[in-house]
Amino acid sequence: MDSFLNFFETLPSWQKLLWIFICISANWIAELIIPLVKFNYKKWKHAGVNLVFLAMDLSINLLFGVLTLGIFTWLNTNEFGLLYLIDLPTWAELLIAVLALDFSAQYLVHYLLHKVPFMWRFHMIHHSDTTVDATSATRHHPGDYLMREVFALLVIILFGIPLAYYLFYRMATVFFAYFTHANFYMPKKLDKILSFVFVTPNMHKFHHHFEMPWTDTNFGNIFSFWDRLFGTLTYDDPKKVIFGLDLVDASKDQDIVYQLNIPFNKKIILKTDK
């Protein structure tokens, strides 16, 4: 188990980028072979727009990594955090760390990104994509991504999560992000079975429906039982989903300048503003 975790802790940056490339590529191929929805769009142009957001978020991630490296070192040196108060096998501590991060830095912050008007304005960019595919997983306003990183940092400090645990979790989130956004057909029975524990492609599609109440459901990233536990689960026929967001101009879903300005666009009136 130690050698397994050491692999993640010593993983060079180029291999982390390779993992992102593998996850995108694998899902892209699946989309081409067995698409769930046949979009009439320029796939490469759409990907180019979303990859611009990815580049922005990777820059934030790099900066976040540099700033927090000292925190991981301090936590380890001072044995600070909840994990240092218990004596469990390494696999159990890893599971606790992943569960804590997935709940707080994914489900909880995602829920707040929908419910707090200020946060929702930054998150709207992710929902404005009218042709959701694997690359849509990368479509986050820098402000949205930064808020997620802050929540992750708070959980890391509270639980005293080691760097290796955190990097394992990040690799898992990358896989699930591209997997659940990918526009490929998954047999309903298989998807339904997997969805009892994990977030699946069919399940996540409802979150990208253009209007409520479906927009405010299925907030999970790795594990689906948070949505089941807190009553935010929706599961139906994914082909009923219409992608996009009814609050913004759908014709500008690939206009990067328009998208980045959404949080500050006073012409976009939220329901809470009325």
pTM, 2 dp: 0.92
Rg, C-alpha atoms of the chain: 19
Plot region of 81 (φ>0 → left; ψ -120 to 50 → alpha; else → beta): left
How does pLDDT run along the chain (274 residues), one tens digit per residue? 777 777 777 878 888 889 999 999 999 999 999 999 999 889 999 999 999 999 998 888 888 878 788 899 999 999 999 999 988 999 999 999 999 999 999 999 999 999 999 999 999 999 999 999 999 999 999 999 999 999 999 999 999 999 999 999 999 999 999 999 999 999 999 999 999 999 999 999 999 999 989 999 999 999 999 999 999 999 999 989 999 999 999 999 999 999 999 999 988 878 666 4
Structure tokens at 272: 């809470």
Of how many residues is the chain composed? 274
DSSP letter, residue 106? I
Question: Which backbone phi and psi does 196 adopt, to 5 degrees?
Answer: -70, -25
| DSSP secondary structure letter of residue 116 | S
Residue 184 β-bridge partners: 35
For the chain, the distance separating the N- and C-terminal CA atoms, rounded to the nearest angstrom, is 55
pLDDT of residue 273: 62
* Residue 3: both structure tokens together: 């050698």
For residue 97, give Cα distances in angstroms to 84, 157, 168.
Answer: 12, 11, 10
Which backbone phi and psi does 233 adopt, to 5 degrees?
A: -95, 135
pLDDT of residue 194: 95
Q: Cβ distance 150 to 271 under 8 Å?
A: no
For position 268, what pLDDT does the model report?
86
